Amino acid sequence: MIHQKIRRLLLLLSVLLFPVTLYYFSPALIISAGIKGIINGSFIIFSIMLIGSIFCGRLFCAYLCPAGGLQECAVLVKEKAPKQGWRNYIKYIIWILWITAVIFCYVSRGQVIKVDFFYETENGISVSNIYSYVIYYGIVFLILIPALVGGKRAFCHYFCWMAPFMVFGTKLRRMFHLPGLHIAADKKSCISCHRCDSVCPMSIDVSKSVEIDCIDSTECIQCGACVDTCPKNVLSYRMIRKEKSHGK
Ligand code: SF4
Ligand code: SF4
């Protein structure tokens, strides 16, 4: 499918650029910047993720995230997606502890001294010396090992510190009844072949969601694998407004 090829190509580019972009996704640098009262690159990127997800959900995870790209490479070793369960909540526990620390740092500083998007980078490049190479490979293994052991997108399932921003944005959209990107379903055409279930990297029960006309799980990264696999074209991308939520 050309759509999936383009998506994978974008992810590959994102992986290749990861040595440049690493610090703009850093959960540590935002803390060090917060202590100094600096709005750094990762603060700005995480804010864009949160605002963008109000309308686009977790599209970033499927099309642009370097961690997502690395994990899609790991599919060569382990293809099966991990089941959803209590482990999916680990990322929220990590996020709450971390975001509390971030807020504490900025609040205790009491004022914003400056905005420095390129904070701690060298001419905008993250990996520029031996020390940052050690950090880079540490992060790469941190992302790859869960995917190699646990399966498809296991890091997204269990540990990602960025996913909760987008889940939070999706919840805000629902709370204010705003329109947003969804995978919509035409349930009349569904033949219950369950092919969509087998390709979902986030282990969502897609065929069950078809019955409520749209996938509204906040775990959906909108990769479109289910859309492209369905033999009856039941699923499609749509900007819709959901009045109530059926999923988590
Ligand atoms: S792949 Fe399409 S037809 Fe098959 S169960 Fe899923 S939505 Fe229904
Ligand atoms: S439900 Fe479909 S679009 Fe969402 S993550 Fe699963 S396969 Fe991708």
- The response to whether residue 223 sits with its C-beta less than 6 Å from ligand 1 reads no
Residue 248 has pLDDT above 90, yes or no: no
User: How many Å lie between the centroid of ligand 1 and the Cα of residue 183?
Assistant: 13
pLDDT reported for residue 17: 98
Q: pLDDT band at 246, cuts 50/70/90?
A: low
Residue 242: pLDDT band with limits 50, 70, 90: confident
**130 CB-contact burial (10 Å; exposed 0-12 / middle 13-18 / buried 19+):** exposed
Q: What is the mean pLDDT of residues 96-121?
A: 97
CATH number of 179-241: 3.30.70.20
* pTM across the whole model: 0.92
User: For helices 41-56 and 29-36, what crossing angle results, to 10°?
Assistant: 120
Segment 2-23, tens digit of pLDDT: 999 999 999 999 999 999 999 9
Q: Is 204 a pocket residue for ligand 2 (Cβ < 6 Å)?
A: yes
How far apart, in whole angstroms, are the C-alpha atoms of residue 245 and residue 125? 41
Question: Which ligand lies nearest to the CA atom of residue 200 in the structure?
Answer: 2
- Helix, strand or coil for residue 29? helix
Minimal CA–CA distance to 165: which of 34, 48, 14?
48
Q: What is the mean pLDDT of the chain?
A: 95
Pocket test for ligand 2, best of 53, 84, 206 (most atoms within 8 A of CB): 206
Check residue 244 and give its pLDDT.
53
DSSP state letters, 198-221 = HH-TT---HHHHHTTTEE--TT--
Give the residue-averaged pLDDT of 211-220.
92
In the chain, CATH 3.30.70.20 covers 179-241
The closest ligand to the CA of 152 turns out to be: 2
Phi, psi at 182, each rounded to 5°: -135, 165
